[in-house]
Structure 1
Amino acid sequence: MSRLTPAVRKRHYWPILLLVWSLAAVSATEEQTQPHESILAAAEQHVLNDFDEENQEINVAAGRLDSRLRLAACDQELDTFMPHGRKNASRVTVGVRCNDTGGWTLYVPVTLSLMKEIAVANRELPRGTILTSADFKIEKRDVARLHRGYIEHPQQAIGKKLKRRLRADAVLTPGQLIIQHAVKKGSQVVIVAQIGGLQVRMNGKALSNGAVGERIKVENNSSNRQIEATVIDSGVVKATT
């Protein structure tokens, strides 16, 4: 039976040692590399921090990073900032930065969805329509994509006039509405007040302009007393109790 000489045995060990060193080098490289997941999570959290998560339905998704990207592991907590974009934009860019000596900066695209209940047209509405509660409905929409704004509360729309035709299911925006004053400052108004089971009417004067649904101050002609009242029709207000 032949035996290996020491020189031969040494040559057989070298490939094994090289393999061990190679694996150790790969392991060290991986340990010293910043995980992509931590970078994406930091970018997403930066966007979430701008919102009250308890009261809003928010979804954020950071874009994927190139799998070949290798960044040195950061000893400090990652720093984030917003170089561009708006809070309610559906696509923003978040800067993620490592502040170590010789650190790095990376820009991560983040897609945002922000769902809210807002007013949309209940039917096709012609230009010049004076809006009532029957003209629109409340639906949940992604407002991050609505760059022209939106209306959350019905009172923001009731009594206002449309500048242009609105198709069914279209979102109501502040720019589409014209304030239609049902009461003008200095004009005579009828003040309606509820006293017990009786409804009392008295004459008064409006101290400011007001659209239907708005609260204004009026002056009772008999007592010269100023009170708050809600405009309910042209020239008619209801005393606030």
Structure 2
Amino acid sequence: MHSFIAGLVCRSALATMLGLAASSAVAQGAADLQGQALQWLQSAVRESGMARDGALRMEVSVGELDARLKLAPCGNLEFYQPPGARLWGRTRVGVRCVDGMARWNVSVPATVRATGLAWVLRNPVSVGAPISDKDVVQAEVDWAAESDPILDQRSQWLDQIASRSLVAGQPLRRTMVKPAQVFQPGAVVRVVAQGAGFQVSAEGQALTAGVVGQNARVRMDNGRVSSGVVVDTRTVRIDL
């Protein structure tokens, strides 16, 4: 009887020891996995060229795997970018076991920050109001904080209008601005037709609203209807 009880105690102690060892191995494996995922992501970001020749400081970090995961030992890991994921902002690194007794596939949460100079609003701008130099200042921001691209060129926002109400401190991004409407249908405009080595101009009547950079239709004095690109408040350009 004592031998039987002693055997149970030994087996129980052995099982406990093995369990602790297994837990330790899993924890160490998770840490190694996160370290390798970090190295892979850092390399992928470097090779992507997103640093824009040093204009952006790229910072990469990875989060922790779900503590409830129990991953079997693996002889060969493959790291990859999951479909729909980006090397930008909040993202994930896919990890799959391609050589092991049990195949598994997990993803590690990660963040890629891209810090650099951008045009930032110094004061609020109402929807529909034009944006000018007095409204912005250059400051460092995280370009990757949102998926909406940063407007890094002055020409991309100057004299555009706010597409929604904007607040001070926001970096200018693509969906925040849109071209201004500069004339209404019925307005008299100057039509400039230009080709190789020549340019002629005449007046016409706008048939559609004029938005800078977009096409507008114009009726000429002879009744002919033409389409051209709106240049400014009263000019439409036709390239021949």
Give the TM-score normalised by structure 2.
0.56
* Structure-2 residue corresponding to 1:62: 62
* Structure-2 residue corresponding to 1:166: 167
Give 1:228 deviation, angstroms. 4.0
Does the CA-based 8 Å contact 2:38-2:60 persist in structure 1?
Answer: no
* Corresponding position: 1:92 with 2:91: yes
Letter aligned with residue 97 of structure 2: C
Cα distance in 1 for partners of 2:81, 2:36 equals: 15
Cα distance in 1 for partners of 2:225, 2:128 equals: 36
Cα distance in 1 for partners of 2:74, 2:140 equals: 42
Pairs within 5 Å for 1:31-180: 36=33, 37-45=35-43, 51-53=48-50, 55=52, 57=56, 58-63=58-63, 72=73, 74-75=75-76, 78-82=78-82, 86-87=85-86, 90-102=89-101, 103-115=103-115, 118-126=118-126, 128-146=128-146, 150-157=150-157, 158-161=159-162, 163-164=164-165, 166-167=167-168, 169-174=169-174, 176-177=176-177, 180=180
Letter aligned with residue 93 of structure 1: R
Cα distance in 1 for partners of 2:207, 2:155 equals: 21
Relative to structure 1, the CA distance from residue 136 to residue 86 in structure 2 (aligned partners, 3 Å threshold; closer, same or farther) is farther
Report Cα offsets for 1:65-118 as digits up to 9, x if no partner.
89xx9974524x6242427x7527633222211211424444323221124554
Letter aligned with residue 40 of structure 2: A
Cα distance in 1 for partners of 2:98, 2:51 equals: 31
Report Cα offsets for 1:112-154 as digits up to 9, x if no partner.
1124554322444355522234433454421221356643444
Does the CA-based 8 Å contact 2:73-2:100 persist in structure 1?
Answer: no
Letter aligned with residue 160 of structure 2: G
Cα distance in 2 for partners of 1:70, 1:128 equals: 55
Does the CA-based 8 Å contact 1:79-1:98 persist in structure 2?
Answer: no
Aligned length: 198
Does the CA-based 8 Å contact 1:163-1:176 persist in structure 2?
Answer: yes
Cα distance in 2 for partners of 1:149, 1:88 equals: 14
* Structure-1 residue corresponding to 2:235: 237
* Structure-2 residue corresponding to 1:221: 220
Task: Please list every run of 5 or more consecutive structure 1 residues that lacks an aligned counterpart in the other structure.
Answer: 1-28
Relative to structure 1, the CA distance from residue 116 to residue 189 in structure 2 (aligned partners, 3 Å threshold; closer, same or farther) is farther
* Structure-2 residue corresponding to 1:12: none
Does the CA-based 8 Å contact 1:46-1:81 persist in structure 2?
Answer: no
Does the CA-based 8 Å contact 1:48-1:60 persist in structure 2?
Answer: no
Secondary structure of the residue that 1:99 maps to in structure 2?
strand
Report Cα offsets for 1:173-194 as digits up to 9, x if no partner.
4554465411345643134689
Q: Name the % identity.
A: 19
Between structure 1 and structure 2, the one with the greater Rg is 1
Secondary structure of the residue that 2:92 maps to in structure 1?
strand
Secondary structure of the residue that 1:40 maps to in structure 2?
helix
TM-align CA RMSD: 4.5
Relative to structure 1, the CA distance from residue 80 to residue 174 in structure 2 (aligned partners, 3 Å threshold; closer, same or farther) is closer
